[in-house]
Amino acid sequence: MPASMETLNDWLARAEHLHPDKIELGLDRAKEMAQRLGLRFDCPVITVAGTNGKGSTCAMLESILTHAGYRTAVFTSPHLVRFEERLRLKGEAVDASKLIASFEVVEKARGDMALTYFEFTTLGILHCMIQEKPDVAILEVGLGGRLDAVNIIDADCAVITSIDLDHMEYLGPDRESIGFEKAGILRAGKPAIVSDPVPPQSVIDHANAIGADLWRFGHDFNVSGDKQQWGWSGRGRRYSGLAYPALRGANQLLNAAGVLAALEALRPQLPITAQAVRNGLAMVELPGRFQIVPGEPTLVLDVAHNAHAVAALAENLDAMGFSPTTHGVFGVMADKDLAPILARIGPLIDRWYFTDLPTPRAAKAADLLAAWQAQNTRKDASGSVHASPMDALRAAIEQAGATDRIVVFGSFFTVGGVLENGTPRLQAKHLLPGG
């Protein structure tokens, strides 16, 4: 091991080279390491899987449980700007020194075992969480579920959010295959919350086969509401007159419904008050989930990077009201199916600013432009290419009028790229972010 392993970045750079593949699904290595490290939580564990809505679900769980007085530890991925965002302790990003101490423990235990970047960092984060002795641990699955390194921990409650087509080269060609992979986080006799209103049959079949306690949206819990407020009902409990979650977007109600079902299922271990639910939903924060930054022009940040998430983004943009021109800053990984993404949101975006991203897995801005040009039928739309998300944003600001809106969406790298120096506040053209 190099002598200069002093900073978190040193450790992350090293973790990149411990395995020949970026991604290699499978639990054998992680399970062996978990044994060596004695990784075991002494508190309830909630594990969250799904195609979209995982981060929002984790954030709402965290917010409500924090308002109920519990000490939370939350592992999510990927991060937007700093790696430390992946572990939140009592609502705050972890201090790098704590992660370094845990990475050192993992490295000693590893010996000559080849671990992927995600395996190594996940083991370090789990070790760090356990050291903190939280009252409740919330774990977000990185990819899939069944073979993801997070799944070495047995969940006391599993939540499956939406299931749609993404990461198909790893998870399978259709919703049924992908659903089976997500369902791998379920455990026998434990609550299995499914907030997707139309889940693949594979999820239901697997839950029944292993004897999980299945809670289905529309069967075991439901929502109602009008424009002002909403209510939740499920298995013997009701909440009425709730304010809508602070996270914007129609899809957040489904996520919130799954959150309340999970908390109801865990009530014997983690009792919460109705006030904690109200405050937690009203005050939850999560950057990059249909995040609207007021200003001139309005700025919208959203990590929508697959067809299902982009469809939700398009619905949310439609609901915002009129803007003379919508500018779209877009960068995404090369493995995404671009045609349905562009087809769904194309009618809403008048000027495109395609950006390169700082990772070899990303699609080139020039290729994104070419894909858009190949299917664009609008004579009044335009597209350009830029070297970075911030360059693309600056170009959009230069072109935008005060009453326009700029939508930055796609990969976490795209949204993270414009958040590097804090949230941009757009007031006028001479006040460019980072300028």
pLDDT, residue 22, reads: 61
Token pair for 95:
């201090």
Residues 57 and 21 in one domain: yes
Q: How many domains in the chain? A: 2
Phi, psi of 255, rounded to the nearest 5 degrees: -60, -45
Using 50, 70 and 90 to split pLDDT, how confident is the model at 181? confident
239, 267, 283: which is the final residue of a domain?
A: 283
User: Is a pLDDT exceeding 50 seen at residue 120?
Assistant: yes
381-430: pLDDT as tens digits: 999 999 999 999 999 999 999 999 999 999 999 999 999 888 887 775 54
Q: Are 278 and 295 part of one and the same domain?
A: no
> Which of 257, 199, 195, 258 lies closest to 223 in space, CA to CA?
257
What are the distances in angstroms from CA 46 to CA 19, 202, 312, 389? 29, 21, 25, 34
CA atoms of 286 and 289, how far apart (whole Å): 6
Quickly state the pLDDT bin for 16 (edges 50, 70, 90).
confident
Residues 39-69 as b/e (b if ≥16 CB within 10 A, e otherwise) read bebebbbbbbbbbbbbbbbbbbbbbbbbbbe
* 0.85 surpassed by pTM: yes
> pLDDT tens digit string along 320-361?
988 999 999 999 999 888 999 999 999 999 999 999 999 888
Residues 99 and 175 in one domain: yes
In a domain, 432, yes or no: no
Which tens digit of pLDDT belongs to each residue from 185-239? Answer: 999 999 999 999 999 999 999 999 999 999 999 999 999 988 889 999 999 899 9
Q: What's the rounded Cα separation, in Å, for the pair 145 and 153?
A: 11
The residue behind tokens 């990461």 is: 167
Residue 435 has pLDDT above 50, yes or no: no
Q: Are residues 162 and 275 in the same domain?
A: yes
Confidence band for 26, pLDDT divided at 50, 70 and 90: confident
Q: Is 38 helix (H, G, I), strand (E, B) or coil?
A: coil
Q: Where does the pLDDT of residue 173 fall: very low under 50, low under 70, confident under 90, or very high at 90 and above?
A: low
Give the chain's largest Cα–Cα span: 62
Per-residue pLDDT tens digits for 278-306: 999 999 988 898 999 988 999 999 999 88
**Average pLDDT value for residue range 84-106:** 95
Pairing of strands 230-234, 221-225: antiparallel
Q: What mean pLDDT is reported for the chain?
A: 91
In sign, the C-alpha dihedral spanning 245, 248, 253, 254 is negative
Residues 295 and 245 in one domain: no
pLDDT at position 116 over 50: yes
Query: Are residues 150 and 230 located together in one domain of the fold?
Result: yes
Q: In this structure, are 102 and 236 located in the same domain?
A: yes
Flag whether 1 is in a domain: no
274 located within any domain: yes
Give residue 367's pLDDT: 97
Residues 317 and 245 both lie in one domain: no
Phi, psi (rounded to 5 degrees) for 419:
-105, 0
Residues of the domain holding 404: 291-419
**209-218 contacts: CB < 8 A, separation 24 or more?**
210/186, 212/158, 212/186, 212/187, 212/188, 213/189, 213/265, 215/191, 215/261, 215/265, 217/254, 217/257, 217/258, 217/261
In the predicted structure, residue 20 carries a pLDDT above the cut 80:
no
Residues 255 and 372 in one domain: no
Amino acid symbol at 195:
S
Cα gap 376→206, rounded to integer Å: 42
**Is 329 found in the same domain as 266?**
no
Stretch (H or E) spanning 209? helix 201-210
Residue type at position 101: A
Helix (H) or strand (E) holding 225: strand 221-225
CATH of the domain at 304: 3.90.190.20
Instruction: Give me the percent of the chain exceeding a pLDDT of 70.
Output: 94
Residue at which a domain ends, from 220, 252, 283: 283
- Hey, which of 49-53, 158-162, 226-230, 334-338 has the most confident mean pLDDT? 158-162
What whole-number distance in Å separates Cα of residue 238 and Cα of residue 372? 47
Tokens 């943009």 appear where? 317
Cα–Cα distance, 229 to 227 (Å, whole number):
6
Q: Are residues 173 and 150 in the same domain?
A: yes
Q: Which of 6-20, 97-111, 363-377 has the lowest mean pLDDT?
A: 6-20
The domain that contains 46 carries what CATH number? 3.40.1190.10
Q: Is residue 253 located within the same domain as residue 376?
A: no
Which whole-number Å values give the CA distances from 87 to 41, 76, 81, in the listed order? 15, 7, 13
Residues 6+ apart with CB under 8 A from 322: none
Last-in-domain residue among 283, 311, 334: 283
CA dihedral 307, 311, 314, 315 (to 10 degrees): -170
